[in-house]
Amino acid sequence: MQPLAGTKIVTIAFNLPGPAAVGKLHQYGASVVKVEPPAGDPLKLGCPALYNELLGQQQAVALNLKDAADRARLDEHLAVADVLVTSSLPSSLERMNLGWPRLHADFPQLCQVAIVGYPPPDDELTGHDLTYQASVGLVRPPAMPATLLGDMAGAQSAVTETFAVLAERARTGEGIFALVPIASALDFYTLPLRHGMTVEGGYLGGALPNYNLYPTRSGWLAVAALEPQFWARLRELLNLTAGTYDELKAALSARTAAEWEAWAAEHRLPLGEVK
Q: Where are the domains of the chain?
A: 8-192, 211-273
Instruction: Give 10-48 pLDDT, tens digit per residue.
Output: 999 999 999 999 999 999 999 999 999 999 999 999 999
Confidence of residue 219 (pLDDT cuts 50, 70, 90): very high
Q: How many Å apart are CA 111 and CA 104, to the nearest integer?
A: 8
For residue 153, the surrounding DSSP H or E stretch is helix 149-172
- Amino acid identity for residue 225 in this structure: A
Give the chain's mean pLDDT: 96
Kindly tell me if the per-residue pLDDT of 1 is higher than 90: no
pLDDT, tens only, 223-263: 999 999 999 999 999 999 999 999 999 999 999 999 999 99
CA–CA distance from 187 to each of 90, 124, 218 (Å)? 22, 19, 36
pLDDT tens-digit readout, 148-205: 999 999 999 999 999 999 999 999 999 999 999 999 999 999 999 999 999 999 999 9
Dihedral sign for Cα 131, 136, 141, 144, please.
negative
Quick check: 60 pLDDT over 90? yes
| pTM as predicted | 0.91
Does 3.40.50.10540 match the CATH number of domain 8-192?
yes
